[in-house]
């Protein structure tokens, strides 16, 4: 897992940025976990594939409502032989429930790392699973045990999600700078550079 230069058979993707903030109405104390999901040909050669932010308290913002700020760094370098399994960032947000229970799921979300070089601002819309029976929904409110996925990577996959009932809830803002090395040598065109 050392630094390997791009040769004629591999390219390198470098992503540096922050999980900047989140907006989840009615919830004050939140923290966020992220992890990368990628295909079998991808390898992390520098940085961390997952991380967890600090607990942060939301503050009212005139333009965006109640915003929680994390400014948590992301710094990862990957290499691959092809674009299949392009990396996703999977976001999982936890916080206090309505009756004060801690570490309750507030939302899951996923977004691909950009395929064009430059600075990008990504808004990850999040959702959370809901019970299919109304009595379970009422009990989860009072007991604070919301439905959760066993594996958060499910949100980055298409299979198995069609049977899940979800509720949209919140958005996370991610800023990321993406750079490529050796992409054109393999015949890929990443488009015009975004500034």
Task: Give per-residue pLDDT as tens, 122-166.
Answer: 999 998 887 777 666 666 666 667 767 777 776 776 666 566 777
Which letter, b or e, does each residue of 82-108 get, where b requires 16 or more Cβ atoms within 10 Å of its Cβ? eeeebbbbbbbbbbbbeeeeeebbbbb
pLDDT number for residue 39: 93
pLDDT number for residue 6: 47
The count of other CB atoms within 10 Å of the CB of residue 64 is 11
Q: Over the Cα atoms of the chain, what is R_g?
A: 18
pTM of the model: 0.81
pLDDT number for residue 184: 79
């Amino acid at each position: 897992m050392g630094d390997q230069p791009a040769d004629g058979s591999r390219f390198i993707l470098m992503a540096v940025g922050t999980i900047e903030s989140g907006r989840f109405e009615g919830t004050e104390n939140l923290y966020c976990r992220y992890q990368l999901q990628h295909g079998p040909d991808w390898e992390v050669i520098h940085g961390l594939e997952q991380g967890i932010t600090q607990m942060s308290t939301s503050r009212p913002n005139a333009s965006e409502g109640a915003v929680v700020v994390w400014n948590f760094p992301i710094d990862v370098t990957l290499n691959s032989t092809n674009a299949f399994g392009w990396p996703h960032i999977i976001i999982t947000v936890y916080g206090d429930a309505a009756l004060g229970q801690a570490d309750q799921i507030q939302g899951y979300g996923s977004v691909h790392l950009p395929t064009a070089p430059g600075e990008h601002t990504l808004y990850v819309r999040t959702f959370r699973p809901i019970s299919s029976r109304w009595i379970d929904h009422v009990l989860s409110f009072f007991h604070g045990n919301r439905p959760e996925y066993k594996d958060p990577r499910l949100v980055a996959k298409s299979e198995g999600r069609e049977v899940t009932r979800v509720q949209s809830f919140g958005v996370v803002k991610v800023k990321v700078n993406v750079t490529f090395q050796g992409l054109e040598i393999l015949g890929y065109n990443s488009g015009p550079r975004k500034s």
